[in-house]
Amino acid sequence: MKNPAKVNEAIRHLKPQAAPFEEEMSLNFGPQHPSTHGVLNFLVVTDGEVMHQALPNIGYLHRGIEKLAEMTPYSGFMPYTDRVDYLAAMFANQVFAMAVESLAEIEVPKRAEYLRVIVCELNRIASHFIATGALALDLGAVTPFVQWLREREFINDIMEALCGARLTYNYMRIGGVSVDMPGDLPDKILRFLDHFEPIIDEYNRLISNNEIFVKRLADVAVISPIDAVNFGLVGPNLRASGIGIDLRKTLGYSVYPDFDFEVPLGKGFRGALGDAYDRYMVRILEMTQSCRIIRQALEKIPGGEYRANVKKKLKVEENEVYSRVESARGEMGVYLISDGTDRPYRLKIKTGSFTAMSIVEKASQGLMVADLIALIGSLDVVAPEVDR
């Protein structure tokens, strides 16, 4: 809705009792603005510094990944999944592999499932580094982001030692993973956890409890539990509003039922339930739980094969399936239709960032323009997840 006249008409429809706005401005926020976390655009209607509406305008990063799937064999599509969410590529690897495994009735070795959990939880921590650090950076605090980048390098080194890549991993395979864990890697992971867990407390002293940072987020862009459900929010954005849905618990996929961990929920840490600060703190607390899961997985990991014996040219009988995992940004799902050939007939990907965009229009009404940055950052929107 780029026509200002149509924007005014939409606003008056939302607030029929209000007088017509006489001093409003229509501004473009993005797609080049660094705080949009990628090529995203918001049409902002303001009266001075107060926003009446912020309308997301997406489509700047559409690459046709779902269409490419129709032309690519099942095993050859795995590298494309890395690009669905470049900050949490392991989850995109896993959800596609699980969908094909379900259709082809492939049993994944238990050791492979444990390896998947270990790398996914490391990837969750790395993704939350960017989410929480970039939020602080967007609000003017440079040091926290640099500190998290330093910690993220340890995880990048671990991933590189495991699969040779630091961002787009292409680690998982249909039926398991590409390679087994090197013998010295468990000790390297444990050393990182021993180093990192005390750093969380240091980070909280640095920024989480910083008075200015708290005031920029507390009671800002409050999303009620009802709105969180009605707008289809998932992951930390949903749990920050007090809704305890985590697919690792509620669905119990892979080997997550083998582990003891908690699901952090928002509770109005410094303001109202479901505000921007709650969304931030839920991600901080989730990193602690990920460390807890990784320690248990390293302790319990069984021996055996790391990949099932799968035909190179895999053909799947006609069927359809919806597979989903708990990504760093919430539910990531793959709806896959097979037609008996060696490639999908249709692939549809559901992501947390796309659903998060739906709440921006409502949550932004009445905020200051500067608070839009806090809202987008607290939702942890990643542009490739919005446009596919």
Q: Distance of alpha carbon 309 from its chain centroid, rounded?
A: 31
User: What does the pLDDT average to over 134-145?
Assistant: 92
Among residues 194, 192, 171, 188, the alpha carbon closest in space to that of 117 is found at 171
The one-letter amino acid at 330: G
Lowest mean pLDDT: which of 80-84, 112-116, 280-284?
80-84
Long-range contacts of 330-334 (CB under 8 A, 24+ apart): 330/233, 330/234, 330/235, 330/236, 330/237, 330/238, 330/355, 331/234, 331/235, 331/247, 332/84, 332/85, 332/91, 332/92, 332/95, 333/95, 334/95, 334/96, 334/98, 334/99
User: What does the pLDDT average to over 152-173?
Assistant: 93
Residues 215-247 pLDDT 10s: 999 999 999 999 999 999 999 999 999 999 999
More confident residue, 284 or 4: 284
How far is residue 124's CA from residue 284's CA, in Å, rounded to a whole number? 11
16 confidence band (pLDDT: 50, 70, 90):
very low
Residues 242-266 pLDDT 10s: 999 999 999 999 999 999 999 999 9
Crossing angle between the packed helical segments 185-203 and 110-138, to the nearest 10 degrees: 30
User: What does the pLDDT average to over 331-351?
Assistant: 94
Q: What's the pLDDT score for residue 5?
A: 57
26 confidence band (pLDDT: 50, 70, 90):
confident
User: What does the pLDDT average to over 194-212?
Assistant: 94
In order of their start, the domains of the chain are 4-57 (no CATH), 65-386 (1.10.645.10)
- Are residues 274 and 266 in contact, defined by beta-carbon separation less than 8 angstroms? yes
- Which helix (H) or strand (E) segment is 350 a member of? strand 346-350
- Are residues 326 and 248 in contact, defined by beta-carbon separation less than 8 angstroms? yes
- Share of residues in the chain with pLDDT > 90 (%): 74
pLDDT at 31 over 60: yes
58 confidence band (pLDDT: 50, 70, 90):
confident
**Omega of the bond leading into 31 within 30 degrees of 0 (cis):** yes
Instruction: Provide the mean pLDDT of the chain.
Output: 90
Sequence-distant (6+) residues with CB within 8 A of 43 are: 1, 2, 7, 26, 27, 28, 29, 53, 54, 55, 57
How does strand 50-57 pair with strand 319-327?
Answer: unpaired
